[in-house]
Amino acid sequence: MMSGNYTSIGNQKVSGSVPAVADSGHIAVQFTDSNLQTFPPSETKGKISGAARPPRDADDTFSKPGGGNDEPQSGGWFRIFSVAAYKPYFDVDTSDVLERIKESLFPWKGSFTEMIANNPDLYGPFWICTTLIFIAASMGTFVTYMAHKLQSKDWNYDISLMTWSAGLFYGYVTLVPLCLYVVLKYFSAPSGLVQLFCLYGYSLFVFIPALCLSVVPLEIFRWVVAGVAGFMSASFVALNLKTHIASAGERWFLIVFAIFLLQVALAIVLKIYLFTVSV
């Protein structure tokens, strides 16, 4: 018979000495260092990728046999064909996007590249470009509609405005950073490709209010709006890359100047193609 102190509760005896359970306290979740400037990214956890998963007893009806992670495991450059490769670049919340948009409206600060150095995103650039496509098509259509109505002419909707806008913005924000990445690598001043995508994507935000203001039926006003938007966007990109490109040698000024001209040229193209209509 074992010895010990017992307390009688009803018809049962409960031991008076209960083994103590160690208090675990608060468990600090440790995340691995982010490596978002590389592509494909390493395994990272954050606001989205490190989010809470369903409990173990959740319905696994739609789970793949064997349980575990549903995402395909692949290595090397094959990872670009998996959703997991792009998760880290959408690992931002509303406050992050708003903060970066606000930074893009103050181009002279030149601190945007430092802000996104370890956490560039493609979420903001994607939605900025998508918003620009619809605004450019709708505003351009509205201007042509009013012009034809005031002149008592028949008006037909031009679907090419939508396709043209999509090709312009998606193409610009993809091809220009890609070409700049190759140029900088050639001059031994490489920059992260995703950082360049992020920088150029946010640089286009200023064109959203500019396109909305361009419906005002004053040609001189439209040119002023296009000029200011182009100058702000160009300054934002050029000043944020100036310090980095300076390490490319004596030709760094030419690179920065070319970047500046490309942004201004985009504003001029938008003005001529979408709003060269006498209302």
Residues 96, 122: contact at Cβ < 8 Å? no
Q: Does the structure show a pLDDT above 80 at 222?
A: yes
pLDDT tens figures, 176-202: 999 999 988 888 777 888 999 999 999
- What is residue 253's predicted lDDT score, i.e. its pLDDT? 81
The yes-or-no verdict on residue 75 having pLDDT over 90 is no
- Label each residue of 48-112 as H, E or C: CCCCCCCCCCCCCCCCCCCCCCCCCCCCHHHHHHCHHHCHHHHCCCHHHHHHHHHHHCCHHHCCH
CA dihedral 161, 163, 169, 173 (to 10 degrees): -170
Q: Where residue 118 falls among pLDDT bands split at 50, 70, 90? A: confident
Q: What is the pLDDT of residues 238-256, one digit of tens each?
A: 999 887 787 666 677 888 8
Q: Given a cut of 70, is residue 30 above it in pLDDT?
A: no
Say how many residues make up the chain: 279
If one compares 203 and 11, the residue with the highest pLDDT of the two is 203
pLDDT in tens, 88-115: 888 888 999 999 999 999 988 888 988 8
Give burial (CB, 10 Å; 0-12/13-18/19+) of 52: exposed
Residue 153 scores a pLDDT above 80: no
Contact 38, 88 (CB under 8 A): no
